[in-house]
Amino acid sequence: MRWDIFCKVIDNLGDVGVCWRLACALAADGGTVRLWIDDPSALAWMAPRGHPDVRVVAWTAAGAAQEADAAPPPDVLIEAFGCDPAPELVARFAQPAPPGAARRVWLNLEYLSAEPYVERLHGLASPVFKGPGAGLTKHFFYPGFTPSTGGLMREADLAARRERFDRAAWLARQNIPWNGERLVCLFCYEPPALDALLARLEHAGEPTRLLVTAGRASRALPPGPARRGALSIDWLPHLTQTDFDHLLWACDLNFVRGEDSLVRALWAGAPFIWQIYAQDDDAHHSKLDAFLDWMEAPPALRRLHHLWNGMAAGELPEIGPSALAHWRAATAAARDRVLAQDGLLERLRRFVVQKS
């Protein structure tokens, strides 16, 4: 089956991360995949080896017409997050399929949310009334946490790879000195409670090594020495998607941001704090609370999320071993609920077969 995925880089590279994982999963499942992306530069460090069955297309106005004619129209056209695919490709996609061929399917892959509207809107049709795709129908495909949504992306071998993971060996390969202290991953925007977190870790009763990811997290960290009381800090280079997963697997507490890393933190199974992407109308507050409700987050974990996202004021709750053990149990229970369901890839294939 031929798949075309369109990705427009807005900011923070989460859209690239989601689309690359999806492209690789479809290719591993036997599909032929083109990933159209307007700025593929992040893939140089996110996926430096590429994938033999994923063709990355630099989505430019000049090259769109030529690329659209380079291969037959896809069987499935996926526009990620409503990015409006190249009109040249849509025009070819709209041409009648050969006799006996399955009907082509056009999907709008939407943002992840635990809010109730996701179950209502998942799978709904959206007729196209103008442009080169006039007369076609798109369908909304919403990832989610319940059986009535599109599910979550996970690779078929994810559990086996997680089981084989050797934390000490991976840390050594990354040149991260580790003497058994608590490991904390910092992947964030500019959280209001960052200074409070650093102070808490600096004066904690147990040593902590903070692993700071490249980009906005590194820039958000206030200047200071790498050793601050009980806190040691390591600044990481840009990591591949595989090594980002390994980072989350290695740490005892993960601070993550955006959509892709939320899902990867859930699969990692360690306690995590999610910094949600802020929206001007504060719609992200309801989105965060809906996720915490679904997760059945303990009160202290919910409060830390609110403080980290600027939705509350006050002192951070304790993040010692007892708290982490409680939060780890809540994370494991939430992960088990989604592991008992089909993943996004299985639901996507099933949906396409139903509509073709």
Set 4, 15, 75, 260: catalytic member: 15
Judgement on whether residues 249 and 322 belong to the same structural domain of the protein: yes
For the question of residue 282 being annotated catalytic, the response is: no
Judgement on whether residues 273 and 308 belong to the same structural domain of the protein: yes
- Under DSSP, the state recorded for 30 is T
- Under DSSP, the state recorded for 101 is P
Q: Which two tokens stand for residue 335?
A: 């992960």
For the question of residue 15 being annotated catalytic, the response is: yes
pLDDT score at 35: 95
Element (H or E) spanning 56, and its range?
Answer: strand 54-58
Q: Total domain count for the chain?
A: 2
3-state SS of 216-236 is: HHHHHCCCCCCEECCEEEEEC
Domain range holding 210?
158-339
Counting every residue written for the chain, the total comes to 356
pLDDT score at 68: 77
With a CB cutoff of 8 Å and minimum separation 6, the contacts of 67 are: 34, 36, 57, 86, 88, 89
Pairing of strands 272-275, 2-7: unpaired
- C-alpha 24/C-alpha 151 separation (Å) is 17
Which residue, chain included where needed, has tokens 């959509």? Answer: 259
Judgement on whether residues 134 and 171 belong to the same structural domain of the protein: no
Judgement on whether residues 177 and 279 belong to the same structural domain of the protein: yes
- The CA-atom distances, in angstroms, between 282 and each of 38, 49, 279, 311 are 29, 39, 5, 10
pLDDT score at 98: 82
- C-alpha 262/C-alpha 187 separation (Å) is 11
Judgement on whether residues 81 and 124 belong to the same structural domain of the protein: yes
Judgement on whether residues 296 and 168 belong to the same structural domain of the protein: yes
pLDDT score at 311: 96
pLDDT score at 28: 93
3-state SS of 173-196 is: HCCCCCCCCEEEEECCCCCCCHHH
Angle at 229 between CA 257 and CA 322, to 5 degrees: 60
Which CATH number covers residue 332?
3.40.50
Judgement on whether residues 108 and 253 belong to the same structural domain of the protein: no
Judgement on whether residues 203 and 329 belong to the same structural domain of the protein: yes
Judgement on whether residues 120 and 136 belong to the same structural domain of the protein: yes
User: Nearest-CA neighbor of 344 among 157, 147, 94?
Assistant: 147
- C-alpha 258/C-alpha 241 separation (Å) is 14
- C-alpha 24/C-alpha 16 separation (Å) is 12
Set 75, 110, 252, 259: catalytic member: 259
Q: Which residues on adjacent β-strands are paired with residue 137?
A: 127
pLDDT score at 263: 97
Q: Which two tokens stand for residue 350?
A: 């099933």
User: Coil, strand, or helix at residue 11?
Assistant: coil
Judgement on whether residues 165 and 277 belong to the same structural domain of the protein: yes
With a CB cutoff of 8 Å and minimum separation 6, the contacts of 306 are: 288, 312
DSSP 270-305: S-EEEEPPP-TTSHHHHHHHHHHHHHT--HHHHHHH
What is the chain's pLDDT, residue by residue, as a tens digit (356 residues)? 999 999 998 877 788 999 999 999 999 999 999 999 999 999 999 999 999 999 999 888 777 777 877 788 899 999 999 898 988 889 989 988 888 788 899 999 999 999 999 999 999 999 999 999 999 999 999 999 999 999 999 999 999 999 999 999 999 999 999 999 999 999 999 999 999 999 999 999 999 999 999 999 999 999 999 999 999 999 999 999 999 999 999 999 999 998 999 999 999 999 999 999 888 888 899 999 999 999 999 999 999 999 999 999 999 999 999 999 999 999 999 999 999 999 999 999 999 999 98
Judgement on whether residues 99 and 224 belong to the same structural domain of the protein: no
Judgement on whether residues 306 and 179 belong to the same structural domain of the protein: yes
pLDDT score at 76: 96
